[in-house]
Amino acid sequence: MIRAEVPRTRMNMSLLKNGRLRNSGYANHIYNRLAWGKEHFRGLTLIELLVVIAILGTVVGIAMPIYSNQIEKARIVKAISEIAIIQREIAAYKGEESDNFLPNTLDDIGRGNLLDPWDNPYEYLNYANTKNYQGARKDQFLKPLNSDYDLYSKGKDGESQKNLNVPASQDDVIRANDGRFIGLASEY
């Protein structure tokens, strides 16, 4: 049976390095592996570092548009749900009033300061306060979207026109068909 001395401490490693505990076999193999690791591995080269940075840049370049699209979809969903909530609150207000009146403004139901996900106020127009649907939003056939009131968000660009065919209105989140449709104007 051959016995090999395996260094267990730094002091034994220094003795082994100086040649005092030189043994052939497994201990020498361990020393050579440890010595190679300390002498030859000093860090990353500049080229390796640039390759890593390029790979990270590519991953970020691919991920950012996907991330921003998901955030935009989440904002649209939030606007749709808030419009549905406001619609229910308007219906509750109408049911509480003895003459079935709609609120004149969103302040009447306590939602006057509510902002959409793009930090714009929600737009509301009670048709009872207008003549012949004046100021009402219209679809591609130039017919009013609703028969009772108009409720919508101006969308990402914060701009809107009365006609949904105009590009400024395509990103609006609208209520149409007297509340049977709530969604993007481009999908209506």
pLDDT in tens, 126-184: 888 777 777 788 888 888 888 889 999 999 998 988 888 888 888 999 999 988 999 99
* Residue 100 shares a structural domain with residue 32: no
What is the C-alpha separation between 83 and 120, in angstroms, rounded?
Answer: 13
Residue 43 has pLDDT above 80, yes or no: no
What is the C-alpha separation between 128 and 107, in angstroms, rounded?
Answer: 17
Cβ atoms of 169 and 161 within 8 Å: the answer is yes
Which pLDDT does position 132 carry in this prediction?
75
Which pLDDT does position 38 carry in this prediction?
52
Between 18 and 63, residue with greater pLDDT? 63
Q: Is residue 3 part of a domain?
A: no
Q: Is residue 133 part of a domain?
A: yes
Average pLDDT rounded to a whole number, residues 35-52: 73
Cβ atoms of 127 and 149 within 8 Å: the answer is yes
* Residue 27 shares a structural domain with residue 85: no
**Angle of CA points 29, 31, 32, to nearest 5°:** 65
pTM for the full model? 0.69
CB-based contacts of 144: which residues, under 8 Å, 6+ apart? 127, 133, 136, 137, 138, 150
Which pLDDT does position 183 carry in this prediction?
93
Measured CA to CA in angstroms, residue 6 lies from 30, 37, 82, 104, 136 at distances of: 8, 18, 72, 90, 89
Which pLDDT does position 161 carry in this prediction?
87
* Residue 111 shares a structural domain with residue 177: yes
Q: Is residue 27 part of a domain?
A: yes
Residue 97 has pLDDT above 80, yes or no: no
CB-based contacts of 141: which residues, under 8 Å, 6+ apart? none
* Residue 74 shares a structural domain with residue 131: yes
What is the C-alpha separation between 83 and 91, in angstroms, rounded?
Answer: 12
Between 25 and 159, residue with greater pLDDT? 159
Residue 6 has pLDDT above 70, yes or no: no
* Residue 32 shares a structural domain with residue 116: no
Residue 17 has pLDDT above 80, yes or no: no
AA letter at 36: W
CB-based contacts of 31: which residues, under 8 Å, 6+ apart? 7, 13, 16, 17
CB-based contacts of 86: which residues, under 8 Å, 6+ apart? 106, 109, 111, 114, 122, 124, 151
Residue 12 has pLDDT above 60, yes or no: no
Work out the mean pLDDT of the chain and round it to a whole number: 82
Residue 16 has pLDDT above 90, yes or no: no
CB-based contacts of 25: which residues, under 8 Å, 6+ apart? 2, 4
Query: Confidence band (pLDDT; 50, 70, 90) for 26?
Result: low
* Residue 81 shares a structural domain with residue 146: yes
Cβ atoms of 153 and 172 within 8 Å: the answer is yes
**Positive or negative torsion for Cα 137, 106, 73, 176:** negative
* Residue 16 shares a structural domain with residue 96: no
pLDDT above 90 covers a percentage of the chain that reads 39
Count of structural domains within the chain? 2
pLDDT in tens, 59-91: 999 999 999 999 999 999 999 999 999 999 999
Query: In terms of residue numbers, what domain contains 23?
Result: 10-40
